[in-house]
Structure 1
Amino acid sequence: MKLALLVGAWLAGILLGFHVEADLLPVALLLLAALPAGVLLRLVGRSLWPVLLVVVLLAGLLRIEAFEVSASPLAVVEKETVTLQGRIANDPEATARRIKFVVSVDEIDRAGETTRPDAKGLVYASPPLSLLSQRGDPYFRYGDTLVLEGELRQPQVFEDFDYPSYLSHQGISGILWVRNTELISQGDGRPASAWKGWMFGLRRNLAEELQEALPEPHSALAQALLLGLRGQLPPGVKEDFRQTGAAHLLAISGLHVGVLMAMTMMAATWIFGRRSPAYLLLALAAIWFYVLVSGIPVSVLRAGIMGSVFLAALALGRPRSALPSLALSAAVMVGIDPKVLGQISFQLSFTALAGIVLVLPYHSKISEAITRRAAASGSWWRHLAWQAGNWISSALIVSLGATLATWPLVASNFDRIPLASIPATLLALPAMPFILAGSLATGGLGLAHPLLGQLTGWITFVPLSYLLVLISVLPSPGIPGTWVGAPLVLAWYGLLLGLMFLPGRV
């Protein structure tokens, strides 16, 4: 409880700093005044907690004062023709017509005027003939230094999506549509870059095996959910996910990490039992392997750290400390980079994981009751039926926790609540572990031998088909989400937080 209060005070100070223009001198004087106030409270026998919480809040406010916003944007006008040189900063992804990647800009030429901005740009380019003859799809590689000539544009707001804000949270401030491309050098020679390039290479190989083993659109969906590669998804499938309010399932986040962690723990508990640490180690390995094969996006990396903190709390025998420890890990990340607090990906990752952590004790009680009934069932087929019911109930409970924890954020950020969003998420998430494990097995075994990939692909085809059919048949009407404002969001999360202190919760 005390840790949760300190984390709350820290985050409140960060939020206050974003909305209030505070001068350094008054904040410093308030911090100095905390010392005699603390001494006075101690002399009269009162708790120091009020002063300590105020100090932590002011420290969060000071952190914002020391926080420097990034340099000027890359795109300064709506459209202009430029030539820039830069290094590819992520794993390039093939889309329907071009290759998409992020470039870290070294220098840019605007009508003869050369500058060296500290900026990143989102690039859509076709590979030059020299790369077509040397490399396979997607031809560009992480670490390549390129000279790019084309039209630089400012990101535009879509009808229901603030695309400029979404890109700015990733440090991207311009979109370049390339006409001419020249490769200057390959890689930067650093060991860290070589390791990251190897991981991206593994990711591409897995994507190729999924394309070989699965038909479309199943292959594209498997790549999106396992590897975070959404460029090959057909427009119709993307629209189905958007209309039913399940588009967040396509963006790898803490939701996926949390479901994978919870279901891996449940499967490992059934195999090894809770007395062996193997059930926690297996979940930890599953989280970080998923982080790696998904391309190490920042949102998944943060979720991996938070999931690891939760597992550590369980390993130390302090399950009641799991949620405060999760909050502490989030507070540390916000302290390192305060702007993440305003990113919807960070908010969804934290709330999804917190929702899953919150329902796990209730799940344990239900699972134990079902296990006792299975043991007393008297026949193997009844025992098997009870175990199947246990798995289904586990998947639904985890899905419910993640869905109830995230829906206010989805509604308040996208101003629309599709009526099918909650049932779509509840029904889709139980299939997610089978899709992720099956897709990984299909790609991994396909690397060993194509026939093995084909065999596992037939199995993985089933949960992928289930998800595609589910999203296509659910209704798509929605209601405006403008009524979901800050008061309702705070009240909802306050209610969920109160569940921690219900009698009998373990």
Structure 2
Amino acid sequence: MGMKLKLRPALYFLLPFLLGIIIGEYTSIPILWLWIFIVLCFVGTILTRNKTRFMCYVLINIAIFGCGMLRFEIASFPKIPNHYFDQPVSFNGKTVYQPERGKEWDACYAVGQIQLLSDPSQEVSAKLLIRFDKLMPLRYGKQIKLTGDLRQAPTKRNPGGFNYRTYLERQNVSGILYHQGLVSIGKQSGIPPLRWIETLRLKTEQVIDDAYAGLETQSTNTSGIEETPSNDTTLHAKLLKGILLGKRGDLPSETLEIFRNSGTFHVLAVSGLHVGLIAFFCYLALSAFRRIPKKVVSLLTIIAVLIYACLVGFRPSVFRASLMVILYLIATIIDRDADIYNLLAIAALTLLLLNPTQLGDVGFQLSFVAVTSIVFFVPKMEKPLQKLWNDTESTNVSTLQRYKNIAIKWLVLSYLVTFAAQIGTTPLIAYHFYRAYPLGIIVGPFAVGLVSLIVGIGMVLSVLVLSGYHLPKSLFLSIMRFSMFF
């Protein structure tokens, strides 16, 4: 056991830090006391490092444990005092992301200063979710001033229900501001690459909407009467935006419930699956150009993953998956043996240092349980099936047979990866949500395969159109309708 910990130093630091966060969640110790405790532990390690090595290691672990408690205590300290809530306030800040918008409402995340209208001398800085009862010209980096009522998000009402307040707090969002009264939207600023990526996202949505709008026009028969397929067409466009960009706000509740009950709802929530697919397709496509060195391919794949992460808003699940992929690709660039368990520990440690409250997030737990389950189970399940494609490397096999074996290997491994992830995540979903989706273990792998097809085709076609390539609309629609048909 000791040997494994030495080979995986990130795991050695992660375990006591993790335990400190867990204990810190159920206790409340003043920050000053924790600082003193940690300093004393580190002083103890210096004094004992040449005398009692065992005691030195114990004190290091206790110090890391204390750091976990301290980090959680700092992160959980409320940024907005309680007396600000349910009061009219003024807000002056800058928009950072627009999560969803409806036909008659709008919303955005913004960071700025909050003042009580009853006492303008009281001011705090925080990140808020701002809701409008009408559509607004919101973009990333817009300066925004408004007044409204500041409220806390609702908590869960039933066991296993969704706790919206905790969800927002884990994204450092301190409350919801409901717009009432004056609003002023100023000039756009912010980081130029992020502004360009937001423009890219809006254009991608426009490409999908325009393409399917064209199909709706074509669905009108010669007598001028519109036929029923137009409703399916609109649904296809919404599904495509949900799968590619995670925008599922416009999807009908019946459609969402079908995905939820079948255990395949995760395909509509942009997550590690989508980031992994983007990384896989980019790496595969770039590797086809043999003159490009593997290190350059890895670097370009990292850039593609970062662009996609910004495209969908760098939500927590995307950030986690992007970090894991980037750490793995960096390991290949610097010619280091990429130990998956150590990379997982590095990713978890990095995320918890940035925001320790994520540990209680179901998405955080599912991400790491799924990847750990894949790494653990797939090699064991793959071994007895290798005879199905073992002839791939043989020189006596024809080209057609070799490609056939590669296709079999890809299909089998794709199913095993998804099946292994379902094995790991199903008990966790049942524990948190008091619901089990046995059908998901069977249907999930097939759904992921179809989503892979949609994501791959959708991204390629969108990139072609956005880059100025005049793809015939009928061809675009035919390909996307074929993939969405499944």
- TM-score category (smaller protein): 0.7 to 0.9
User: Which whole-Å deviations, capped at 9, do the CAs of 1:212-271 have from their partners, x for residues lacking one?
Assistant: 224322222222222232222222222222333333332222343235445665777788
Structure 2 distance, partners of 1:152, 1:122, is 10
Q: Which of 121, 126, 131 in structure 2 is aligned with 1:124?
A: 131
Structure 2 distance, partners of 1:346, 1:47, is 34
With over 3 angstroms needed to count, the CA separation of the structure-2 counterparts of 1:393 and 1:457, relative to structure 1, is farther
Tell me, yes or no, if structure 1 residue 330 matches structure 2 residue 348.
Answer: yes
Partner of residue 186, structure 1 = 187
Q: CA deviation at 1:446?
A: 2.8
Partner of residue 288, structure 1 = 306
Structure 2 distance, partners of 1:229, 1:390, is 33
With over 3 angstroms needed to count, the CA separation of the structure-2 counterparts of 1:156 and 1:72, relative to structure 1, is same
Spell out the pairing of 1:438-477 with structure 2 (5 A cutoff): 438-447=457-466, 448=468, 451-452=471-472, 454-466=474-486
Structure 2 distance, partners of 1:413, 1:67, is 23
Partner of residue 200, structure 1 = 198
Structure 2 distance, partners of 1:64, 1:151, is 29
With over 3 angstroms needed to count, the CA separation of the structure-2 counterparts of 1:114 and 1:198, relative to structure 1, is farther
Secondary structure of the residue aligned to 2:240 is helix
Structure 2 distance, partners of 1:314, 1:367, is 28
Partner of residue 437, structure 1 = 456
Aligned-residue RMSD, C-alpha: 3.7
Structure 2 distance, partners of 1:202, 1:211, is 14
Partner of residue 469, structure 1 = none
With over 3 angstroms needed to count, the CA separation of the structure-2 counterparts of 1:249 and 1:395, relative to structure 1, is same
Structure 2 distance, partners of 1:360, 1:283, is 24
Greater mean deviation of Cα atoms: 361-370 or 445-454: 361-370
Spell out the pairing of 1:338-349 with structure 2 (5 A cutoff): 338-349=356-367
Structure 2 distance, partners of 1:424, 1:108, is 51
User: Which whole-Å deviations, capped at 9, do the CAs of 1:50-100 have from their partners, x for residues lacking one?
Assistant: 5544443344344445656241258855x5555544332213632243122
Q: CA deviation at 1:207?
A: 0.8
Q: Which of 89, 93, 96 in structure 1 is aligned with 2:100?
A: 93
Spell out the pairing of 1:223-238 with structure 2 (5 A cutoff): 223-238=241-256
8 Å CA contact 1:73, 1:174 repeated in 2: no
Secondary structure of the residue aligned to 2:452 is helix
Amino acid paired to 1:178: H
Tell me, yes or no, if structure 1 residue 69 matches structure 2 residue 77.
Answer: yes
Tell me, yes or no, if structure 1 residue 60 matches structure 2 residue 68.
Answer: yes
Amino acid paired to 1:258: G
8 Å CA contact 2:328, 2:338 repeated in 1: no
Q: Which of 202, 207, 210 in structure 2 is aligned with 1:209?
A: 207
8 Å CA contact 2:96, 2:140 repeated in 1: yes
With over 3 angstroms needed to count, the CA separation of the structure-2 counterparts of 1:204 and 1:101, relative to structure 1, is same
Spell out the pairing of 1:354-369 with structure 2 (5 A cutoff): 354-358=372-376, 369=387
Structure 2 distance, partners of 1:66, 1:176, is 24
With over 3 angstroms needed to count, the CA separation of the structure-2 counterparts of 1:111 and 1:418, relative to structure 1, is farther
Q: 5+ residue gaps in structure 1?
A: 129-137, 467-506
8 Å CA contact 1:310, 1:325 repeated in 2: yes
Amino acid paired to 2:187: Q
Partner of residue 472, structure 1 = none
Q: Which of 405, 409, 419 in structure 2 is aligned with 1:386?
A: 405
User: Which whole-Å deviations, capped at 9, do the CAs of 1:368-403 have from their partners, x for residues lacking one?
Assistant: 754443567966665554333222112112212333
Q: CA deviation at 1:13?
A: 2.6
Amino acid paired to 2:210: E
Tell me, yes or no, if structure 1 residue 10 matches structure 2 residue 11.
Answer: no
Structure 2 distance, partners of 1:395, 1:429, is 9
TM-score (norm 1): 0.75
Amino acid paired to 2:328: F
Structure 2 distance, partners of 1:299, 1:103, is 20
TM-score (norm 2): 0.78
With over 3 angstroms needed to count, the CA separation of the structure-2 counterparts of 1:75 and 1:139, relative to structure 1, is farther
With over 3 angstroms needed to count, the CA separation of the structure-2 counterparts of 1:68 and 1:99, relative to structure 1, is closer
With over 3 angstroms needed to count, the CA separation of the structure-2 counterparts of 1:61 and 1:80, relative to structure 1, is closer
With over 3 angstroms needed to count, the CA separation of the structure-2 counterparts of 1:92 and 1:20, relative to structure 1, is closer
Structure 2 distance, partners of 1:75, 1:310, is 46
Q: CA deviation at 1:274?
A: 13
With over 3 angstroms needed to count, the CA separation of the structure-2 counterparts of 1:355 and 1:84, relative to structure 1, is same
Partner of residue 312, structure 1 = 330
Structure 1 distance, partners of 2:453, 2:169, is 34
Tell me, yes or no, if structure 1 residue 257 matches structure 2 residue 275.
Answer: yes
With over 3 angstroms needed to count, the CA separation of the structure-2 counterparts of 1:411 and 1:76, relative to structure 1, is farther
Structure 2 distance, partners of 1:20, 1:230, is 38
With over 3 angstroms needed to count, the CA separation of the structure-2 counterparts of 1:450 and 1:92, relative to structure 1, is farther
Give the total of aligned pairs: 450
Greater mean deviation of Cα atoms: 79-88 or 388-397: 79-88
Amino acid paired to 1:71: K
Partner of residue 430, structure 2 = 411
Partner of residue 174, structure 1 = 175
With over 3 angstroms needed to count, the CA separation of the structure-2 counterparts of 1:331 and 1:187, relative to structure 1, is same
8 Å CA contact 2:114, 2:126 repeated in 1: no
8 Å CA contact 1:83, 1:109 repeated in 2: yes
Amino acid paired to 2:184: L
User: Which whole-Å deviations, capped at 9, do the CAs of 1:467-504 have from their partners, x for residues lacking one?
Assistant: xxxxxxxxxxxxxxxxxxxxxxxxxxxxxxxxxxxxxx
8 Å CA contact 1:277, 1:315 repeated in 2: yes
Amino acid paired to 2:95: I
User: Which whole-Å deviations, capped at 9, do the CAs of 1:3-35 have from their partners, x for residues lacking one?
Assistant: 123322232233333333454345544544445
Tell me, yes or no, if structure 1 residue 157 matches structure 2 residue 175.
Answer: no
Structure 1 distance, partners of 2:484, 2:474, is 15
Structure 2 distance, partners of 1:378, 1:411, is 47
Q: CA deviation at 1:292?
A: 2.9
8 Å CA contact 1:104, 1:121 repeated in 2: yes
Structure 1 distance, partners of 2:378, 2:329, is 12
With over 3 angstroms needed to count, the CA separation of the structure-2 counterparts of 1:317 and 1:295, relative to structure 1, is same
Amino acid paired to 2:104: R
Partner of residue 489, structure 1 = none
Structure 2 distance, partners of 1:206, 1:140, is 17
8 Å CA contact 1:93, 1:99 repeated in 2: yes
